[in-house]
Amino acid sequence: MNSNPQSAGQPTPPAPPQRVLVTGGSGFIGSHLSRRLLAQGHEVLVVDNFYSSTRRNVQDLIGEPRFELMRHDVTFPLYVEVDQIYHLACPASPVFYQRDPVQTTKTCVHGSINMLGLAKRLGARILLTSTSEVYGDPLEHPQTESYWGNVNPIGVRSCYDEGKRCAETLFFDYYRQHQLPIKVARVFNTYGPNMLPNDGRVVSSFIVQALRGEPVTVYGDGSQTRSFCYVDDLIDGLIAFMNSPEQVTGPINIGNPGEFTMLELAKKVLTLTGSDCPIENRPLRADDPVRRKPDIGRAWEQLGWQPRISLDDGLQPTVEYFRRELAAGR
pTM of the entire predicted model: 0.92
Does the pLDDT value for residue 6 go beyond 80?
no
* Structure confidence by residue, pLDDT tens digits, 62-93: 999 999 999 999 999 999 999 999 999 998 87
Does the pLDDT value for residue 2 go beyond 60?
no
| Confidence at residue 4, expressed as pLDDT on a 0 to 100 scale | 39
| Confidence at residue 93, expressed as pLDDT on a 0 to 100 scale | 76
* Structure confidence by residue, pLDDT tens digits, 29-59: 999 999 999 999 999 999 999 998 889 999 9
Rounded Cα gap, residues 181 and 122, in angstroms? 11
Does the pLDDT value for residue 199 go beyond 90?
no
Length of the chain: 330
Q: Which whole number is the average pLDDT over 95-123?
A: 94
Supply angle C-alpha 324, 90, 158, rounded to 5: 115
Instruction: Name the band, by pLDDT with cuts 50, 70 and 90, for residue 207.
Output: very high
Least trusted range by pLDDT, from 179-193, 225-239, 245-259, 279-293: 279-293
| Confidence at residue 7, expressed as pLDDT on a 0 to 100 scale | 37
Percent share of the chain, pLDDT over 90: 82
Does the pLDDT value for residue 115 go beyond 60?
yes
Domains annotated on the chain, with CATH: 19-327 (3.40.50.720)
Pairing of strands 225-227, 259-261: antiparallel
| Confidence at residue 12, expressed as pLDDT on a 0 to 100 scale | 53
Q: Which of the residues are catalytic?
A: 160
Rounded Cα gap, residues 79 and 90, in angstroms? 19
